[in-house]
């Protein structure tokens, strides 16, 4: 006698449905953030040989979250680089980048998103955008740096945040290093079994932000990047409006700039030389 119950294959389909429902529940409660952000609160010491002495600065976002940042001033600076880091660590993990920028003649400000370093709060997509806007306002209003002397620089996750900010304002230049086209795209490649469109939608859509940026753009990427495929960098470069440049480096996602230091620093220097001499775009 045939027993009542699920039809043939029904158990498998039900299990799949339950997995999707669990993932949707995780996303809807905000728990997806625990798979996206990896903040650290411990501040690493700065190697003396780098020759930089960051200053702690603090400012508040529109939703009243107190953020911490490192400001690295340079005498006779060519401008200021507003630096947005990746989804892991905190400002102290990026001192080698700050040293490169200082050698190239720039002051810099690197901000810790909410929940990172000494910043208060809990990270979220909307929160990181509010953090970026507060950083811009601090540079323009407190440090008195005009937009035509500001370079926005984003690495990895910070690339999406940088593109979002450069679309809203008009910096002198925009630099995207090891950035992804969207969070959904990179997640689909890392976790092909997950319903990434359902979970992430258009979250951190760098490609969308970039098409409205009017500043000259430099895209930096490595074919050896094991986290964000090289194709993402090529697509971002294709999406960017001219004038634009592409710099190919070598090495892994988190260390490529250091592994390719000579090529990397020379490429940045060339980009600065060419486009800082051009008239600034109206803000």
Q: What digits encode the pLDDT tens for the residues 219-277? A: 999 999 999 999 999 999 999 999 999 999 999 999 999 999 999 999 999 999 999 98
Q: Collapse the DSSP code of 221 into the 3-class scheme (helix H, G, I; strand E, B; otherwise coil) and give the result.
A: strand
User: Which residue in the list 96, 169, 224, 253 is annotated as catalytic?
Assistant: 253
CATH classification for the domain delimited by 54-276, as one of 3.30.70.260, 3.90.1150.10, 3.40.50.1820, 1.10.560.10? 3.40.50.1820
Three-class SS of 54-67: CEEEEEECCCCCEE
DSSP assignment of 11-38, as one string?
Answer: HHHHHHHHHHHHHHHHHHTTGGGGGT-E
- Is 253 an annotated catalytic residue? yes
Q: Percent of the chain, pLDDT > 70?
A: 83
pTM above 0.85, yes or no: yes
User: Which residue in the list 156, 178, 205, 260 is annotated as catalytic?
Assistant: 156
The total number of residues shown for the chain amounts to 283
Residue 97: CB partners within 8 Å, gap ≥ 6? 83, 110, 155, 257
User: Which residue in the list 112, 131, 185, 225 is annotated as catalytic?
Assistant: 225
- Is 225 an annotated catalytic residue? yes
- Average confidence (pLDDT) over 37-62: 95
Q: What is the dihedral of CA 178, 34, 16, 181, to 10 degrees?
A: -20
């Amino acid at each position: 006698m045939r027993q009542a119950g699920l039809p043939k294959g029904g158990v498998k389909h039900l299990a799949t449905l339950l997995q999707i429902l669990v993932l949707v529940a995780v996303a809807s409660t905000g728990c997806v953030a625990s798979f996206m952000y990896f903040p650290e609160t411990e501040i690493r010491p700065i190697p003396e040989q780098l020759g930089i002495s960051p200053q702690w600065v603090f400012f508040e976002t529109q939703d009243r979250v107190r953020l911490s940042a490192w400001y690295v001033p340079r005498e006779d600076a060519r401008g200021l680089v507003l630096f947005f880091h990746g989804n892991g660590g905190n400002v102290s993990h990026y001192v080698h980048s700050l040293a490169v920028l200082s050698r190239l003649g720039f002051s810099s400000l690197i901000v810790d998103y909410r929940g990172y370093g000494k910043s208060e709060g809990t990270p979220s997509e909307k929160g990181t955008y509010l953090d970026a806007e507060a950083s811009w306002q601090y540079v323009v209003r407190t440090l008195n740096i005009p937009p035509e002397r500001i370079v926005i620089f984003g690495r990895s996750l910070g690339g999406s945040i940088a593109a979002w900010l450069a679309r809203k304002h008009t910096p002198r230049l925009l630099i995207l290093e090891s950035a992804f086209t969207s969070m959904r795209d990179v997640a689909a490649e890392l976790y092909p079994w997950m319903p990434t469109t359902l979970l992430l939608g258009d979250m951190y859509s760098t490609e969308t932000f970039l098409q409205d940026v009017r500043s000259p753009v430099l895209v930096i990427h490595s074919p050896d990047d094991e986290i964000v495929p090289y194709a993402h960098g090529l697509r971002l470069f294709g999406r960017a409006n001219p004038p634009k440049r592409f710099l190919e480096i070598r090495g892994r996602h988190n260390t490529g700039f250091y592994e390719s230091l000579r090529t990397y620093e020379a490429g940045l220097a060339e980009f600065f030389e060419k486009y800082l001499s051009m008239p600034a775009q109206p803000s």
